[in-house]
Amino acid sequence: MGNKYLTLSELNLEGQLLGFVGGEPGKYKYLQLAVPSGDVEIKLPKELRRLLSSSLVPGQQLRICGHSEIDSRTSKIKIKAYQVTPINTCPKQDLPPQTKARIMVCQKGGCLKRGGKGLLSELEKTLCDRGLSDKVTIEYTGCQKCCGSAPNCVLQLGKKKYKNIHPEAIATLLESHLTE
């Protein structure tokens, strides 16, 4: 039995932070970085995950020090960071403001049995019909600890949170929030 991953090289990347993915909020495993050759996904070390996800904002310029590895079975390259440093430059003025809203939908058994699948499909249909799909991130969560009011979904607009509201009301709130 050999190592699954073979280390390729050390690397330094500079680019614009697109966002965080994988895992639960505050414990994201990866960051997405826009570099001249395209977008890359970079794995974060456990000790940096919480700190970085709370201190960095999408659109910020970053310098990543890390190493690349190749999966000997699939030939896919994986990048792991060991240092992430913000570059102190002024953000581009032509970037649109980050007004993307989040909708967190519980995917545990109780919520799914009590209409969670229907809520999710109705929510996606309503957002699509009103042209809001690209302005919202739908996140699938574990239990939200409100099983008595299942199915559970939370809309987060900036610092405001709205719980257990109908998809039409979510779309109306989004429209009013995005036109402010």
Phi and psi (nearest 5°) for 20? -115, 150
The helix (run of H) or strand (run of E) holding residue 37 is: none
Average the pLDDT over each of 2-11, 39-48, 70-79, 166-175 and give the range with the smallest value: 2-11
For 22, left (φ over 0), alpha (ψ -120 to 50), or beta? left
Rounded to two decimals, the pTM is: 0.45
What sign for the dihedral angle of Cα 45, 46, 47, 48? positive
Convert the pLDDT of each residue in 88-123 to its tens digit: 755 444 445 545 688 888 888 888 888 888 888 888
d(C-alpha 132, C-alpha 175), whole Å: 8
Convert the pLDDT of each residue in 52-73 to its tens digit: 877 888 888 999 998 888 877 8
What sign for the dihedral angle of Cα 20, 24, 28, 30? negative
d(C-alpha 142, C-alpha 48), whole Å: 23
The DSSP bridge pattern shows strands 5-21 and 38-43 to be: unpaired
**Residue 26: its pLDDT value, please?**
64
Mean pLDDT of the chain: 81
Convert the pLDDT of each residue in 126-141 to its tens digit: 888 888 777 888 888 8
What average pLDDT does range 135-156 have in this prediction?
Answer: 85
**Residue 145: its pLDDT value, please?**
86
The helix (run of H) or strand (run of E) holding residue 164 is: none
**Residue 1: its pLDDT value, please?**
44
Convert the pLDDT of each residue in 71-80 to its tens digit: 778 888 888 9
**Residue 95: its pLDDT value, please?**
46
For 35, left (φ over 0), alpha (ψ -120 to 50), or beta? beta
Tokens linked to 22: 């994988």
**Residue 180: its pLDDT value, please?**
60
**Residue 16: its pLDDT value, please?**
92
